[in-house]
Structure 1
């Protein structure tokens, strides 16, 4: 077993060492956020409903010995405690945890449900004024759509991003992953770390209100600026770039490659590699990026005709030698064995109590002084209940009674 596992629930060298995070979220946005915090050393307690747990535990196939790979992907570095928050006893346990916690994250949109389970902001912040309270919902905690349920697919559609994704003459397309969920999780983690830093100066916690819709719509920064400031309506351009030419996929003799020619110097080098420095490069229609953008429909077929004459690896070798950003279209298996990712330890292994060695993608942030660690595998449902309850002062007899009553 790697020494990365030796620290247990918290990492004494991590940025968030001695930070207790209560994770009452399900699915992806919240769990991804809290996993990032756990990687950075926080003690994350995942609070789940008894018997059913996080809904994503049942999302599949694929399953590995009844464990959903979806759940396994975003729940490492957490301890699991099952609590029935509809019971007074369950809420009492939660209140003890809140009194000790630094952060609470939930994704329950309805205020009535929040109050029923004791996780509304008024109740929680009254128990702990230093707590960072984080609500992740589909549409945010205010406005006419505040209590509507939200999922990634809907956020992708309503944010406007799907409308500019896909081929010009095709349909709008969703991303190949739940990007709205994951970007919201990243924004939430960033906000939490900033709020913890602010607390160091003020001594007070605060409420963070995030929505899938806003987090995803925020990625409209470039097309929104073009529309709001330049009056240009964004359009789908497929695998090309709306502002830079050539910056897209090209078909070679055997397969597609990507080429990103983002500067005048790169354009010169690109033309030299293709052997067109005395022809296309001297054509006034293509002299600047603005001109190339204007004459995209004329330029791209000329370049495509040349690139079809050799295979992908031959072109990539020549382009890389000229320091032109380029690459193949890797499949997922090819990406996961990319030599650069392998060298930087992108796949990590954790020892799971039922599954044995479990593989996971590493946190992409490399800290020089406070490295991330991978201490705990994704937990079994309620796996750490006894330990956590004992930390709160419950006796073995009291814990047994809580189990008998279905509270945990």
Structure 2
């Protein structure tokens, strides 16, 4: 059995952060029953451009492989009844909504514990279920600005800059998955479930890590650094070569000593201006222009072999195409394929979560309401008469 094959999760989720968290649980074997609101055409991620075809998009595929889909109108009494039946036979309810919405939708632990005392209710919201911003929607871009990330990203003379990826969303998904698994462990041990109040805001603030500790204790003020330089280690940054860019980092004194040999200036290892971490940091205005001039003399391909041979941390600054075709990417099986009735063979990146030796089994994302029969008849045991009555009452949407 796969690690989470005995886990069933009801996912009231949409778009990016929530589905990103649960897709890794699906890869590990959990049954993720994705509840899609038929009144709005299901998960909005199905319609994200530019690569869309009807109700299917490559964006949706990237976040929802391996899940099951059920169209369910939780705003109807009958739809709520189906949801409650699912709670009785599931381990967790997972959602990513605005902070005040889980209580309004009655999907918190206090709302559901009478149905299943061991149910774990994990809510990934923008700002959490308490605090003055709990009613605000949370979007990655907004949170990167609010949490201080953009203020310390980019070139010193440039504007505040967002990360090229939605790192608050993705990190929040991982935090939610960890919280949910911790809750499941406790619930199976104790027989009592709980709420997991996870937020993108908490995640973004938590990831400030050591710059926050430096500021809170010593008044350190983070600033944007030239060429993405490390705030305290010199040299550790991007350098421009003759035909591109590479990153070189001296995170230990031995790496600096080796680098002086590679660049043809072994005397710099003992130079009192550059001999120690503190010396190099204090004299970076002298050292970095010297290094930049040296690195511009050769191409990236000419620099990397001697740097690798000296075991100095380094690497090229790839574009996405180069990253996906890197030898190590392919050796680690990080590009996987699934078959889709609209898109044919879909290639995407694998989950980085590895448990044991068995390679995860990947299945395409579901079409909307594709698992109607599996859930209603198979999982819940409804007969044809009950399914027909629920359908007539609008539990599964007007088009069901």
Quickly name the TM-score band, shorter chain normalised: over 0.9
Task: Return the alpha-carbon distance in structure 2 between the equivalents of residues 141 and 329 of structure 1.
Answer: 40
Counterpart-to-counterpart distance in 2, 1:87 and 1:207:
24
Q: Counterpart in 2 of 1:5?
A: none
Counterpart position of 2:192: 204
Whether the 8 Å CA contact 1:33–1:188 is kept in 2: the answer is yes
Equivalent residue for 1:101, pick from 90, 105, 120:
90
Aligned to 1:252: 241
- Distance (Å, rounded) in 1 between the aligned partners of 2:48 and 2:160: 26
Q: 1:285 aligns with which of 270, 273, 279?
A: 273
- Could you tell me how far 1:18 is from its partner in structure 2? 1.1
Q: In the TM superposition, what is the alpha-carbon distance from 1:132 to its structure 2 partner? A: 1.0
Q: Are 1:297 and 2:285 matched, yes or no?
A: yes
Query: How far apart are 1:261 and its partner, in Å?
Result: 1.1
Distance (Å, rounded) in 1 between the aligned partners of 2:214 and 2:124: 29
CA distance in 2, matches of 1:125, 1:334: 50
- Out of 317, 325, 328, the position equivalent to 2:313 is 325
Distance 2:191 2:24 in 1: 24
The 2-side partners of 1:58 and 1:65 are apart by 8
Q: Are 2:340 and 1:352 equivalent residues in the alignment? A: yes
Matched, 1:384 2:374: no
User: Secondary structure at the residue paired with 2:289?
Assistant: helix
Give 1:404 deviation, angstroms: 4.2
Query: Distance in 1 between the 2:24 and 2:66 partners?
Result: 9
Q: Is the 8 A contact 2:334 2:350 kept in 1?
A: yes
Q: CA deviation at 1:29?
A: 1.2
Per-residue deviation, 1:369:
4.6
Q: Deviations over 1:233-283 (max 9, x none)?
A: 1111141100111001111111111101111110011000001012x3332
Structure 1 residue corresponding to 2:56, chosen from 67, 80, 99: 67
In structure 2, C-alpha distance between the alignment counterparts of 1:175 and 1:382, rounded to whole Å: 34
How far does residue 154 in structure 1 lie from its aligned partner after superposition?
1.0
* Per-residue deviation, 1:359: 1.5
Query: Which of residues 186, 205, 213 in structure 1 aligns to 2:174?
Result: 186
Deviation at 1:119, TM superposition (A): 2.0
Deviation at 1:115, TM superposition (A): 5.1
Show the 5 A alignment for 1:36-115: 36-50=24-38, 52-64=41-53, 67-109=56-98, 111=100, 113-114=101-102
Shift of 1:65: 6.2
Distance 2:111 2:358 in 1: 34
TM-score by length of 1: 0.92
Tell me, yes or no, if the aligned pair for 2:108 and 2:195 is still in contact at 8 Å: no
Structure 1 segments unaligned to the other structure (5+ residues): 1-12
Per the TM alignment, residue 335 of structure 1 is displaced from its structure 2 partner at its CA by 0.5
Shift of 1:61: 1.2
Unmatched 5+ stretches in structure 2: none
Deviation at 1:23, TM superposition (A): 0.5
Distance 2:114 2:169 in 1: 29
Residues 97 and 126 of structure 2 are in contact (CA less than 8 Å); yes or no, is this contact kept in structure 1?
Answer: no
CA spacing shift, 1:116–1:235, aligned 2, 3 Å: closer
* TM-score, normalised relative to structure 2: 0.94
Q: Is contact 1:30-1:106 (8 Å) kept?
A: yes
Q: Equivalent of 1:276, from 265, 274, 283?
A: 265
Post-superposition offset of 1:152: 0.9
> Quick one: structure 1 residues 157 and 32, their matched pair in 2 at CA, closer, same or farther if it must change by over 3 Å?
same
User: Match for residue 255 of structure 2?
Assistant: 266
The answer on whether the counterparts of 1:386 and 1:399 sit within 8 Å (CA) in structure 2 is no
Distance in 2 between the 1:179 and 1:347 partners? 20
Paired residue for 1:399? 387
Q: Secondary structure at the match of 1:225?
A: helix
| C-alpha RMSD of the superposition | 1.6
In structure 2, relative to structure 1, the CA distance for the partners of 1:115 and 1:66 (3 Å cut) is closer
